[in-house]
Structure 1
């Protein structure tokens, strides 16, 4: 009998994303602020659903987010672990980490929000039956229902049909689950364990976004269509130009595309609910009257908008503060929570308030220390008092009025205890099943990325409003080519283990005795 050969590879004792895309600090221009104030009066939402990173229609997401001003999300059932990789040799889980970050980069461009299920991209699947056998149909359906109940979209749009024209089994499966979730999300008997955190939700309709690619034209003249090729003078770009930039974030897949300009139509076929005649959200109340007691909010927003000064956005802060107080008095709902979040962000941006929490070390090592730096600047001179700062259980009282355009800084060195959790993707914390990741915390399902290791909370009063902002502590560094950049700071163990070589090939039953190298991760650490 032939003796089989077993391959043994030793892994690191901890994992963090192999690619964390470095970013510049993002602030809003006055045009961005004006557009965001307009969006405050729009209470409509659309969720796009497909199987993989790069399946999404970035033109449609951009149009819905930046023209219609809907809250727009993309639910990718997988993280793209089974795709190709044109920028490195990472495959499988490592590739999924890269493609997760590519999707998040795309959403930062097109204005959408990103969600995932626990499904693992195990590679090409011939049909949805094979896909469901590996994923577990009800398990991933539960995740789709969870995202719908939490996001509460008025309309769901699928990239692929339930009838197989999308080719890949994952593609068809994504459409089947989205259509099944139409009824399941509204049924309290389905996945009742979720109702501890969310409520049932009835989507108005499900639409299939028909296509003409891959030699398969599913577009018909009688289908509902919308022109998504408009030009936005506030942004200085057409939605086709923005969408191309978003699409080009899928670098591992070689999906850089040219910008498009001019009229461009997207077509839709209704698969659940009634068909639209004029808008995707026909029959949906997308104004403040959908919120109990919200009728007067629209007038407040219109007042802020009419008085907005592009050269002096700080003059709108008082109006935004009054708006925040008015929304706060309304009954709690998904929309009041979302709009409070948007107004809160606008108050900081319009006031010109700069807040930063950073380190100059990429890693915080358990049993070592890390220095966290805080910087604040009231750049436009709004009436702001800084009361307290809180980081990881540490609180300090500052009780200072922020003068116009004067830097305020603060630094504190923190001991990193052994009990501080090592930073790693939450979906990799436990061993996975064949076709799915294991996530036991219901509220983490759908979350696109790991939570920050440290957060800094700023307690302020802005124009008489007591308000707080929490920022992730990030690693700030200067790249000689790209300039100042930020990336998440991660917590790592005190030491790491490294074999003499990366791969060993052994016969079955053979003893394995090899030296391991232990490396201290502390300052000036070395191999023992």
Structure 2
């Protein structure tokens, strides 16, 4: 078993932030067969944009089919980054989950071949109405973004995943369809969002917009009179069918638990017309997808046909001279979207057909402002094409060469440079400014739509291939070798000289006693820089500086000056040379299936003052899919023991005042079925078992029974975080002991009240609360309690996992009462 202690010691070090060694940005490689497919794609000038609300909403099978079978330029516009969803692989929520799901989408796109786009809309959680979603997102702001992506991408056809009505099953789903439909028209209107034109886009009229109907859940919107396509065909060049490719792509949505089996055989997708020109006999009917749509491109069409006919899978480098000539022909065409797109595609083909390898790496995952960093450059002309390296450039540094690259000979060069103090630290562009309730704010509007920010450092390689000059851009990556996983590449993140954070970030002041917290300062620079922490005023909380200890830890004590229930936030800054400097907290997310993710958070501590009494001390916690509830329990004054499978024994459970299961614990642990009888015996003998929400659907099935009496888990939820709470039995112990719960305890909840409520209850269960979203029926399954033997069993869909880290006082008070259920004599 593992015991969590209240004091955490941090080891201080200079510039030694080491990544976890997860699989990430290994440069792409292509087989000769895949090169042939890319050659054929150069000959196709059709484009399709798919639009939906979230990561994982997209139809990966259709995207793969359109991109790799029809060879259209294919894009997916996800209005949000999935910030408000659930997380099956860790405890990240909100913007951190959005960062994870962004990278999962990019990984999926690398498999199915589509491009990825986003708007500034924030996934604020489940929404039951279109109107709510559009209001919270700021409809006009999000419409601006959708129009921008359409004008920039210039799709011939727009496809929505969802309808504009309740069949979409989620207000954000239907909202995405409404916005797509309006943007279809607005993008063509020169009077709508005319300010976009200064960024180089023009009005664009897609040929049509259609809805990709579906059959899942309780909704079947397909019918045989709709236009349909068999997207389950086999691609002999790739050696896979699109059901197989789609499964590989879909399974990268790991945070959502969307791993699926590969499918083979016929698979029809259905479409219904929304607006524009009728579909007719082809999804892209009426669009000329050949080079005839570009003026004076007859020679280009002929040249590509010849390239495809003469292409050698064993000697792709023989196509390079003809590809260079093709590039020159396309460059002579009139400026336009297809000219620019095809120049990029042909340049990429020249690179991969020649076997040219170019990389720029460092030996450190992090660089620091006003500090030095060493770049290592490597080029290799693996197939002996006529290639001359002319110049390497990184920011203000460049080196001029006239170096012919020999066949399969490594050309190495290293350079140490000083990072300018004025360079911008590496922050995802949508997190650079404070956000609104339902959307991010972006200073540089030309960034809108981009899936991620540019790398901290980029290298320009100027190379002459077969007599023509090309410029190639590469990110600078951290390259290292893991003893188990082998050679790996990770991003390089640019840091400020000093970072800092609070430990812990939430302090619960539930008594008059002083509570300790620390400011952990980390000097990232090799230079001897220091900064004195400065904390903002905290109102009814006094802060006492206790001292500066080893490892750059500054210790403080916080004490409430009144018992008024409130939350105060104190932000951190550093004083350097008499001047106040913005403080940054570096946060890192590491998983094997995505690159290492770094972002900067404004360090702040939440000081929660509340009158919270606790009864019972020793809590066993069975972790689920990931949450931060144990940290909150520590703040409340409990001793928390993280229970592993081996710890769940009758003798050990007897030592616990309560056992709490983490979110989705009954979904992720097979052993819960084996431990069911032991847990029920614990309750029967006087224990208190508290089960936080689990799900029961096609994504996550239950591994075990949960309670002593039957009940089911529904999809019922209350998404309005200010929804009125009704006490069904105001005298019930859970509302009165040891804290008297009032309406005020449900103030300032975030995102939602509860999810996955209990239903179909055995009569032995008591319901405690009722609540509802506007216009709906009362829901009573958010908190149910049953007596079993001498103990208590509780199931709750109340989202404690969101409220406790947010420092909501009433959530702490109610949880304390739930934990104390079996402690009050006479009840």
Q: Secondary structure at the match of 1:387?
A: strand
C-alpha displacement of 1:338: 0.3
Identify unmatched segments of 5+ residues in structure 2: 1-18, 529-549, 553-827
| CA separation of 1:307 and 1:132: change in aligned 2, threshold 3 A | same
C-alpha displacement of 1:479: 2.5
Question: How many residues in Structure 1 have an aligned counterpart in Structure 2?
Answer: 512
- What is the correspondence of 1:102-113 to structure 2 with a 5 Å cutoff? 102-113=104-115
| 2:484 is equivalent to residue 481 of structure 1 | yes
- What is the correspondence of 1:175-186 to structure 2 with a 5 Å cutoff? 175-186=177-188
Whole-angstrom distance in 1 between the partners of 2:517 and 2:269? 60
Q: Secondary structure at the match of 1:467?
A: strand
Deviation sequence 1:9-28 (CA, Å, 0-9, x none): xxxxxxxx999961322111
Deviation sequence 1:103-142 (CA, Å, 0-9, x none): 0000000000000000000000011100111111111011
Deviates more, 1:511-520 or 1:445-454: 511-520
C-alpha displacement of 1:188: 0.5
Q: Secondary structure at the match of 1:398?
A: strand
| CA separation of 1:201 and 1:305: change in aligned 2, threshold 3 A | same
Q: Which has the higher contact order (CA 8 A, sep 6+)?
A: 1
Alignment partner, residue 133 of structure 1: 135
Whole-angstrom distance in 2 between the partners of 1:296 and 1:397? 35
Deviates more, 1:413-422 or 1:225-234: 413-422
Whole-angstrom distance in 1 between the partners of 2:455 and 2:503? 33
Alignment partner, residue 494 of structure 1: 497
Paired residues of 2:21 and 2:482 also in contact (CA < 8 A): no
Alignment partner, residue 70 of structure 1: 72
Aligned mate of 1:270, from 257, 268, 273 = 273
Alignment partner, residue 45 of structure 2: 43
Instruction: Give the TM-score, by structure 2 length.
Output: 0.60
Q: Secondary structure at the match of 2:391?
A: strand
Identify unmatched segments of 5+ residues in structure 1: 1-16
Paired residues of 2:81 and 2:99 also in contact (CA < 8 A): yes
- What is the correspondence of 1:144-155 to structure 2 with a 5 Å cutoff? 144-155=146-157
Alignment partner, residue 239 of structure 2: 236
Aligned mate of 1:465, from 459, 465, 468 = 468
Whole-angstrom distance in 2 between the partners of 1:229 and 1:481? 37
Alignment partner, residue 367 of structure 1: 370
- What is the correspondence of 1:365-444 to structure 2 with a 5 Å cutoff? 365-444=368-447
Whole-angstrom distance in 2 between the partners of 1:328 and 1:370? 38
Deviates more, 1:417-426 or 1:169-178: 417-426
Alignment partner, residue 85 of structure 1: 87
Q: Secondary structure at the match of 2:162?
A: coil
| 2:209 is equivalent to residue 206 of structure 1 | yes
Whole-angstrom distance in 2 between the partners of 1:190 and 1:510? 60
Paired residues of 2:507 and 2:517 also in contact (CA < 8 A): no
Deviation sequence 1:392-423 (CA, Å, 0-9, x none): 11111121111100000011112123212110
C-alpha displacement of 1:60: 0.2
Paired residues of 1:18 and 1:98 also in contact (CA < 8 A): no
Paired residues of 2:504 and 2:518 also in contact (CA < 8 A): no
Paired residues of 2:47 and 2:157 also in contact (CA < 8 A): yes
Q: Secondary structure at the match of 2:472?
A: strand
Paired residues of 1:20 and 1:488 also in contact (CA < 8 A): no
Paired residues of 1:382 and 1:462 also in contact (CA < 8 A): yes
Whole-angstrom distance in 2 between the partners of 1:93 and 1:400? 46
Q: Secondary structure at the match of 2:168?
A: coil
Alignment partner, residue 223 of structure 2: 220
Alignment partner, residue 255 of structure 1: 258
C-alpha displacement of 1:94: 0.5
C-alpha displacement of 1:514: 5.3
C-alpha displacement of 1:184: 0.3
Q: Secondary structure at the match of 1:335?
A: helix
| 2:357 is equivalent to residue 337 of structure 1 | no
| 2:208 is equivalent to residue 193 of structure 1 | no
Alignment partner, residue 353 of structure 1: 356
Whole-angstrom distance in 2 between the partners of 1:488 and 1:224? 44
Alignment partner, residue 317 of structure 1: 320
C-alpha displacement of 1:294: 1.3
- What is the correspondence of 1:48-63 to structure 2 with a 5 Å cutoff? 48-63=50-65
Alignment partner, residue 527 of structure 1: 551
Q: Secondary structure at the match of 2:500?
A: strand
| CA separation of 1:321 and 1:299: change in aligned 2, threshold 3 A | same
Alignment partner, residue 118 of structure 1: 120
Larger Rg: 2
Paired residues of 1:19 and 1:101 also in contact (CA < 8 A): no
C-alpha displacement of 1:442: 1.5
Deviation sequence 1:156-192 (CA, Å, 0-9, x none): 0000001220110000000001011111000011000
C-alpha displacement of 1:498: 2.6
Alignment partner, residue 8 of structure 1: none
Whole-angstrom distance in 2 between the partners of 1:213 and 1:510? 55
| CA separation of 1:269 and 1:519: change in aligned 2, threshold 3 A | same
Whole-angstrom distance in 2 between the partners of 1:481 and 1:425? 30
Paired residues of 1:19 and 1:97 also in contact (CA < 8 A): no
Whole-angstrom distance in 2 between the partners of 1:363 and 1:249? 27
Paired residues of 1:19 and 1:98 also in contact (CA < 8 A): no
| CA separation of 1:456 and 1:362: change in aligned 2, threshold 3 A | same
Instruction: Give the TM-score, by structure 1 length.
Output: 0.94
Whole-angstrom distance in 2 between the partners of 1:445 and 1:60? 25
C-alpha displacement of 1:513: 8.7
Q: Secondary structure at the match of 2:264?
A: coil
Whole-angstrom distance in 1 between the partners of 2:435 and 2:356? 43
Paired residues of 1:21 and 1:101 also in contact (CA < 8 A): no
C-alpha displacement of 1:230: 0.8
| CA separation of 1:508 and 1:52: change in aligned 2, threshold 3 A | farther
Paired residues of 2:23 and 2:488 also in contact (CA < 8 A): no
C-alpha displacement of 1:481: 2.8
Alignment partner, residue 453 of structure 2: 450
Deviates more, 1:481-490 or 1:211-220: 481-490
Q: Secondary structure at the match of 1:356?
A: strand
Q: Secondary structure at the match of 2:127?
A: coil
Deviation sequence 1:468-522 (CA, Å, 0-9, x none): 1011111112223322121221101111113242321248999999542211113
Q: Secondary structure at the match of 2:357?
A: strand
